[in-house]
Amino acid sequence: MKAWLPTLLRLAVLALLVVFITSPGWFEPLLKPLTENGAPAIYNQGSLLTLTLQHLRTVLIATVAATTVAVALAILVTRPAGAEFLPLSRSLVNIGQTFPPVAVLALAVPAVGFGEKPTLIALFLYGLLPIFENALTALTTLPGNVMEAARGAGMTGWQRLMKVELPLSTPVILGGIRLSVVISLATATIGSTVAAKTLGEVIIAGLISNNLAYVLQGGLIVAALAVLIYDGLSAIERYAARRMGQGGE
């Protein structure tokens, strides 16, 4: 019975989340005490469902782009031909991480205008490092005798990459993507300061009108999304690791 509890809990959170973003009106009595002067308890300047989907879309686009670039970069610098770019690419990606996302937003707005684009740029740059680091670690710590066997069997460089190196690196790369997604989910909220349609809109509206109910619902939806997605990706990661015979649980 015990083993069912976490799954049950997750399903409950998921159900609650879905009900909340589709029919937030039902929860009005719960949030009402948090408002003052008869302000609305449920965000009323847009549908929570639409905002959630747009939030997820922004994170998805940024993560897919960051994953593509980071993994490609990691592959490139672990080939013999690209080895000399290893330090350079490391520092470039590190810069992406030290740059505060707010600063990226501020710099990107004059260049690409308001809206989703500057947010995507900030999330993309922010998501690169964890994926790149993990991909690099995975690709440089592959078991030596497995790689030796792959070469000895007569695989070409490309075949070794596709058939051995990437499959074996998958669990660790997935770990990087998971970190990156969770960071992006949270960071995307500040995109609303430059008019991106994300759940940050709800939080910012709450802050401006001093409406705690708004801040809370915006924050809770983002938190629930982060927890569920983190869990889901962890499960995929464990499955992949088990397939590789790397223990798991």
Partner 1 sequence: MIEIEGITKRYDETTVVDNVSMVIEPRTIATIVGTSGSGKTTLLRMINRLVEPTSGVIKLDGADNRSLPGYQLRRSIGYAIQGHGLFPHRTVAQNIATVPLLLGWDRDRIKARVDELMTLYQLDPQAYGPRYPHELSGGQQQRVGVARALAAEPNVLLMDEPFGALDPIIRTKAQEDLLAIQKRFGTTIILVTHDMEEAVHLGDKIAVMDAGKLVQYAKPAEILARPASGFVETLVGASERPFRLLSLGHVRDAVEPGGAEGEAIPGDATQRDALAELLWSGRPALPVKGADGRLIGRVTVEGLVKRAARPQ
> Least Å distance between CB 239 and partner 1?
12
Considering the rule CB under 8 A, would residue 239 count as an interface residue with partner 1? Answer: no
Q: Which of residues 114-173 bind partner 1 (CB under 8 A)?
A: 143, 145-156, 159, 163-164, 167-168
Closer by beta carbon to partner 1, 164 or else 182? 164
> Least Å distance between CB 160 and partner 1?
10
Contacting residue, 92, 233, 236, 244, with partner 1 by CB under 8 A: 244
> Least Å distance between CB 141 and partner 1?
14
Considering the rule CB under 8 A, would residue 236 count as an interface residue with partner 1? Answer: no
Residue 5 half-sphere exposure toward CB, CA atoms < 13 A: 3
> Least Å distance between CB 151 and partner 1?
6
3-state secondary structure of 23: coil
- Contact (Cβ atoms closer than 8 angstroms) between residue 59 and residue 188: yes
DSSP class of 143: -
Phi-psi region of 220 (alpha: psi -120 to 50; beta: other; left: phi over 0): alpha
- Contact (Cβ atoms closer than 8 angstroms) between residue 85 and residue 76: yes
Closer by beta carbon to partner 1, 19 or else 149? 149
**Total residues binding partner 1 (CB under 8 A):** 22
Closer by beta carbon to partner 1, 110 or else 152? 152
Helix (H) and strand (E) counts in the chain: 11, 0
What are the residues whose beta carbons fall under 8 Å from the beta carbon of 42, sequence distance 6 or more? 24, 25, 27, 28, 31, 48, 213, 217
- Contact (Cβ atoms closer than 8 angstroms) between residue 196 and residue 204: no
Q: Which of residues 176-205 bind partner 1 (CB under 8 A)?
A: none
How long a stretch of residues is the chain?
249
d(CA 48, CA 145): 53
What are the residues whose beta carbons fall under 8 Å from the beta carbon of 16, sequence distance 6 or more? 224
> Least Å distance between CB 77 and partner 1?
23
Considering the rule CB under 8 A, would residue 243 count as an interface residue with partner 1? Answer: yes
Closer by beta carbon to partner 1, 212 or else 244? 244
> Least Å distance between CB 70 and partner 1?
22
d(CA 207, CA 44): 15
> Least Å distance between CB 236 and partner 1?
15
**Binding positions for partner 1, rule: CB under 8 A:** 143, 145-156, 159, 163-164, 167-168, 243-246
